Structure 1
Amino acid sequence: MIAQLESPTLDTPCRPHYIVEGLIQVFTSTQRNFFTSVMAQALRISGQGTPVLVVQFLKGGLGQGPEAPVQLGQNLDWIRCDLPRCIDTPELDEIETTSVQQLWDYTQKVVLEGKYSLVVLDELSLAINFGLIPESEVLEFLEKRPVHVDIILTGPHMLPSILEKADQITEIRRSHRP
């Protein structure tokens, strides 16, 4: 059997393409052990050809940072602060504070350019709670992002103002009792 598709000719102009509005998703847990499921989602989506950015604000990575993202496949860029350690306290030295700020500035810039369709902001709530990233800047960023960009925010103790903006909130907790 042979089938042939023929494009119909229309006397009226074609409708413009529509854009699917991106979602703001929050993944939160009292334990810091759920990043694997978020990363699996990012890898799956990037494997389908969608540009993805994963930003880990509190994880260190020598030789990383905005100037040297790790590329996983063709469509997934993964960046961390260019620091020798993971940040687990709000008491940081000037180099560490500057590194987190540079990563936040870079993230805002590339997202607003529309380079990525999915952006994962890992442990953003901790960065806000540690006073490293201002809550007001995050809220403004979420409002100004390109309409098609999906944002995933992770971390424990997500601020109510961010939860208000979320389209989907996933709270991960233990389902068994020891």
Structure 2
Amino acid sequence: MVAQLSVSVSEASLSPTYDIEGLVQVFTCPQRHFFTTVMAQALRVAAQGSGVLIVQFLKGGIQTGVEHPIQLGQHLTWWRPALQRCLGDSQTITPEEQAAVRRLWEHLQVTVQGGAYRLVVLDEVSLAIQLGLVSEAEVLNFLKNRPRPLDVVLTGPEMPPSLLAIADQVTELRRLI
């Protein structure tokens, strides 16, 4: 038998159910094959009725940006910067694209302080750092000043040592031949 408790989003946000400190998890892999694992975790948390925010720094597309979030179910919100394309390390990034990622980063910092989320996924944050779109110091500051119960998942290849050092869990996926 399966039982489900139905609580409105406004009721859930009025009474915090978590009084423990959130975790910082890192998923890293040279081949960038870890998003399925992270997405499964995000869906599991959202299905339990907690707010989840997925932020993809390098993915663009049609009608993206914080003004057009993707809403998967009641509790999972997905943001991408307002870009017409996906960014990569071998491309020249325009000032407009840099500004779009900055707007996403700044919006994230303000929004998370509201306490509506239990889990935030910063997808490919290590690449955003390598490309100079977000600084390592800014990410460290974000993690230090996040709401106490917030879990944060960082993904990307070649994660900076400073982020690995403060992580509660580091998962390195690799292929065995």
TM more than 0.5: yes
In structure 2, do the counterparts of structure 1 residues 18 and 50 end up closer, same or farther at CA, with 3 Å as the change threshold?
closer
* 8 Å CA contact 2:121, 2:152 repeated in 1: yes
Are positions 1:54 and 2:54 aligned together?
A: yes
SS in 2 for 1:36: helix
Match of 1:153 in 2: 154
Equivalent residue, structure 2, for 1:5: none
Contact 1:110 1:116 survives alignment (8 Å): no
Q: Does structure 2 conserve the Cα–Cα contact (< 8 Å) formed by 1:118 and 1:149?
A: yes
Note the C-alpha offset of 1:91. Answer: 2.5
Unpaired segments of 5 or more residues in structure 2? 1-16
How many angstroms apart in 2 are the aligned matches of 1:172 and 1:59? Answer: 22
Q: Deviations over 1:116-138 (max 9, x none)?
A: 11000000000001111011111
Would you say the 8 A contact 2:18–2:149 is kept in 1? no
Q: Can you list the C-alpha shifts for 1:72-97, whole angstroms capped at 9, x where unaligned?
A: 00000001111111000362111101
3-state SS in 1 of match to 2:126:
helix
Q: Which amino acid aligns with 1:40?
A: A
The structure where strand makes up a greater share of residues is 1
State the alpha-carbon separation in 2 of the partners of residues 27 and 18 from structure 1. Answer: 24
Amino acid of the structure 2 residue aligned with 1:92:
I
Percent identical residues: 55
Runs (4+) off by over 3 Å: none
Please give the TM-score of this superposition, normalised by the length of structure 1.
0.87
Q: Distance in 2 between matches of 1:113 and 1:128?
A: 25
Question: SS where residue 132 of structure 1 aligns?
Answer: coil
What is residue 29 of structure 1 aligned with on the other side? 29
Q: TM-score scaled to structure 2, two decimals?
A: 0.87
- 1:114 alignment counterpart: 115
Distance 1:154 1:145 in 2: 17
Q: In 2 relative to 1, CA 18–112 (structure 1 residues): closer, same or farther, beyond 3 Å? A: closer
| Larger radius of gyration between Structure 1 and Structure 2 | 1
* Pairs within 5 Å for 1:17-166: 19-89=19-89, 91-166=92-167
CA 1:18 to 1:87, structure 2 compared with 1: closer, same or farther past 3 Å? closer
Give the Cα–Cα distance (whole angstroms) in 2 for the partners of residues 117 and 162 of structure 1.
20
Looking at structure 2, the residues matched to 65 and 91 of structure 1 have their Cα atoms a distance apart, in angstroms, of 20
Per mean C-alpha deviation after superposition, the further-off stretch among 104-113 and 142-151 is 104-113
Distance of 1:136 and 1:111 partners within structure 2: 18
Q: Is the 8 A contact 1:43 1:76 kept in 2?
A: yes
> Unmatched 5+ residue regions in structure 1?
1-16
RMSD: 1.3
> What secondary structure, in the 3-state scheme, does the structure 1 residue paired with 2:152 have?
strand
